[in-house]
Amino acid sequence: MHNDSNPSHPGPLSDLVVIDLTRALAGPHAAMMLGDLGARVIKVEAPGSGDETRGWGPPFVDGVSTYFLSCNRNKESVALDLKSDDGRQVLRELIARADVVCENFRTGVMDRLGLGTTELLELNPRLVILSITGFGHDGPEGGRAGYDQILQGEAGLMSLTGPGPEEPTRVGVPIADLLAGMYGAFGVLAALHERERTGHGQVVRTSLLASVVGVHAFQGTRQTVAGQTGRAQGNSHPSITPYGLFHCRGGSVQIAAANDSLWRKLCAAFGLDPQTPGMVTNAERVGNRQQVTALLEQTFADLSPDEVLDQLATAGVPAGRVRDLAEVYNWEQTASQGLLIDVDHDQLGGIRLPGPPLRFFSVDSSGAEREVTRTRHAAPPVLDADADALRRWVAGESVAGDD
């Protein structure tokens, strides 16, 4: 089986079974998060084609989509035709043994399959059901299909991103999908916690729309409280200056002088006067952002990024470089945080994947920490890789996790 967890530290969710009926990204990401934490995740796919992301590319490596690899580690795969009696029966048997079902079908599809929420909870009263949609399952536009870039636009994110108001820009990763998956996994854990008190499962619903509105943060209250509509303004923070990207000789650096004390430290490091008229307080600097930026970039004009960053580090001003992904994945700090994992793929052999973003530590009575993070992970499965073993399991011929 593909549930190849660390035998010493299998993860805090190792007693849970998750049925993943989702495809594309939002739902698979939610289920993968649960799998990363040790849950047994059984991915149910369409026969022949599987999850649609198996065909998304390039890039493909030996016919395998790297997109699919990004959101399906720590899962098993079974192909079931849900329009057939056999497929639906096997799925019902799996659901009866599960703790969580994840689905991201359009509203009404699960009902047409005879697996609506009423039927699911009759089959398994302790079941937690995660349902992710594009715009929400109800409301005047609840039935609309939603893909990430559509929702980045509809939910206002693109209006806040890019070089300026006339060039709305998508975020470089499918952030609406990813956030919906994260909120979905968060909601599942809350419902599982409540199940410990009530003994009953429930439905957790989120959407790509909700996920983006949920991270509007200060831009949201800027609109709802102050009545100001935020607009894209490139790499400058709308409420703090200097906070953003600044050009220097042969490159650029990012600086976060998020308060007046840091502004004074920055000025001292480069021989500038922090009492320059119009630049004394943050509010003044925000109002004169172009002048502040021009002053700093003139100051950095003869300095390389490394020289600027060295002086900022000495001064204690938060700053950093802009790395490409090749640099990120070759960075020692990335590896030190467990953000790279090596797995054995049934078709590709040994491959390296981005790793889970959480680490866990036990603390003894003296305060000493011991890391108990799961360290062994399973590669994303090839289509239908676990069909025989799963059918034996639902038939009672093996226990969960047996080969």
Please pick, among 20, 36, 148, 177, the residue that the annotation labels catalytic: 177
23: helix, strand or coil: coil
- Give the pair of three-digit tokens for residue 249: 């000789």
* Nearest-10 crossing angle of helices 26-36, 175-198: 50
Which residues does 83 contact at the CB level (< 8 Å), separation at least 6?
Answer: none
In Å, how far are 70, 383, 384 from 47, measured between CA atoms? 21, 8, 8
Active site residue 177: yes
Strands (DSSP E) contained in 118-174 are 128-133
Residue from 150, 76, 60 nearest 68 by CA? 60
- Whether the bond into 125 is cis, omega within 30 of 0: no
Amino acid at 352: R
- Give the pair of three-digit tokens for residue 296: 């700093």
| DSSP character string of 337-364 | TT-EEEEEETTTEEEEEEPPS---EEE-
Residue from 68, 55, 78, 59 nearest 28 by CA? 68
* Spatial distance between the Cα atoms of 241 and 285, rounded to a whole number of angstroms: 6
| DSSP character string of 25-94 | SHHHHHHHHHHHTT-EEEEEE-TTT-SGGGG--S-EETTEEHHHHTS--S-EEEE--TTSHHHHHHHHHH
Contact 169, 161 (CB under 8 A): yes
Contact 54, 25 (CB under 8 A): no
Burial of 262 (0-12, 13-18, 19+ CB in 10 A): buried
**Sheet holding 251-256: strands in order across?**
243-248, 251-256, 319-320
* Residues carrying an active site annotation: 177
